[in-house]
Amino acid sequence: MDTVIDSPKHEGASYASPETWPAFVRATAQQDYLSAETGLYTALEQGYSHWYIDGSLEGERPADFTPQRLAALNTLMDETGVRPIFHGNFKAPLGSDVEALAAAALDYVKQEVDICAALGGAPLIVHGGGVVEPRLVKEAREKGLERLIANLQELVSYGKARGVEIWLENLCNYTRFHPFYYICTTEDEVEHVLKSVPGLHMFLDVSHAYVNGGDPLSFFWKFNERVVGMSFSDNNGDRDSHFPLGRGNLDFPALVDAIQTTAWQGMVGFETRGGTLRGSVDYLNQLVASSTR
Q: pLDDT confidence of 2, banded at 50, 70, 90? A: very low
pLDDT of 44 higher than 80:
yes
Instruction: Report whether 166 contacts 159 (CB < 8 A).
Output: yes
Q: What are phi and psi of 56, to 5 degrees?
A: -90, -10
Distance CA 246, CA 202 (A): 24
pLDDT of 11 higher than 80:
no
Instruction: Compute the C-alpha angle 195/120/154, nearest 5°.
Output: 30
Reported as a single tens digit per residue, the pLDDT across 234-249 is 999 999 999 999 999 9
Distance CA 39, CA 70 (A): 15
Q: pLDDT confidence of 178, banded at 50, 70, 90? A: confident
Residue-level pLDDT at 133: 83
- For helices 137-160 and 187-196, the axis angle rounded to 10 degrees is 40
Residue-level pLDDT at 13: 72
Reported as a single tens digit per residue, the pLDDT across 102-138 is 999 999 999 999 999 999 999 999 999 999 888 888 9
Instruction: Report whether 233 contacts 272 (CB < 8 A).
Output: yes
Instruction: Compute the C-alpha angle 184/60/76, nearest 5°.
Output: 115
Instruction: Report whether 66 contacts 111 (CB < 8 A).
Output: no
Q: State which amino acid sits at residue 156.
A: V
Residue 205, beta-bridge partner list: 231
The dihedral region occupied by 59, where left means phi > 0, alpha psi between -120 and 50, and beta the remainder, is: left
Distance CA 277, CA 269 (A): 10
Instruction: Compute the C-alpha angle 154/155/158, nearest 5°.
Output: 90
Listed in sequence order, the residues at least 6 apart from 174 whose beta carbon sits closer than 8 Å to its beta carbon are 181, 182, 211, 212, 239
Q: Which domains does the chain have, with CATH numbers?
A: 2-290 (3.20.20.150)
Distance CA 118, CA 283 (A): 36
pLDDT of 4 higher than 50:
no
Instruction: Report whether 128 contacts 95 (CB < 8 A).
Output: yes
Distance CA 119, CA 175 (A): 37
The dihedral region occupied by 111, where left means phi > 0, alpha psi between -120 and 50, and beta the remainder, is: alpha
Number of Cβ within 10 Å of residue 71's Cβ equals 11
Residue-level pLDDT at 91: 95
